[in-house]
A and B are shown apart, each in its own frame.
Chain A
């Protein structure tokens, strides 16, 4: 089983649609969670951190369920510019050691 698993995608949605991505992680001791966005032929960039109580940033909402070891990202009123690959990231720290594991990514294409 992969340490971080994401929806395989690709997701093709019309502009204005709401789309949700899911991610599960295998290590229950994982401490921090993130969503990164990667545009074609570019580097990954932090989209948002995921907090236990859930958090929202404009059209983006991230949620964490520690009991189910599940993370989600919801995008409302999707824009053409949201087309990208979304990477789920899980962090496990122990002293000076840090294990940051990336999911394989979910590709989103927003269609006009």
Chain B
């Protein structure tokens, strides 16, 4: 079975450019999460969706960040304009239905490694 699929795997961009990260969750999973990981701050939840609806976006750093989930099989995280401090690994993760036993396990994609120069 395909896991969570993210693209691009690696991106190097110049400061001020727009960056779009993409994610395809595991089929049938109702929850989708975007995390950012850096050495200094560890894993931080940016936003999560349940049934395509944003539930908690309190972790989104600022207005330069936006996330969408137009359907159950696709989500994007956009940074515009990008800054060097946005350099990090961005993980997308998904999990089955909230509240069920198996729904508490989340599965991560391989991450998008972003470098802003």
Chain A residues in the interface with B (C-beta under 8 A): 32, 34, 42-46, 49, 87, 91, 93, 96-105
Which residues of B pack against A, CB within 8 Å?
31, 33, 42-43, 45, 48, 50, 55-56, 91, 98-99, 104-111
| Complex contacts, B43 vs chain A, CB 8 Å | 44, 87, 102
Known: A43-B91, A93-B98, A96-B98. Contact between A102 and B109, CB under 8 A? no
Select A99's contact among B50, B56, B108, beta carbons within 8 Å.
B56
Please give, as numbers and ranges, the residues of chain A lying within 8 Å of B33 by CB-CB distance.
100
Q: Are A102 and B42 in contact (CB under 8 A)?
A: yes
Report yes or no: A98 in contact with B31, Cβ–Cβ below 8 A: yes
Min CB distance B112 to A, Å, is 11
Q: Which of B45, B50, B110, B111 contacts A100 (CB 8 A)?
A: B45
Given A32-B104, A93-B99, verify A98-B110 contact (CB < 8 Å).
no
Known: A42-B110, A98-B48. A34 touches B55 (CB 8 A): no
Total A-B Cβ pairs within 8 A: 44
Contact with A43, one of B42, B55, B108 (Cβ below 8 angstroms):
B108
**Once the chains are docked, how many angstroms separate the CA of A45 from the CA of B91?**
12
B residues near A98, Cβ cutoff 8 Å: 31, 48, 50, 55-56, 98
Closest B residue, CB atoms, query A97: B55
Q: Is the CB of B56 within 8 A of A97?
A: yes
**4 A-B pairs with the lowest CB-CB distances in the bound complex, closest first:** A43-B108, A104-B42, A102-B43, A32-B104
Contacts of A101 in B (CB 8 A): 45
What's the least CB distance linking A57 to chain B, in Å?
A: 14
Q: Whole-angstrom distance between the alpha carbons of A45 and B105 in the complex? A: 10
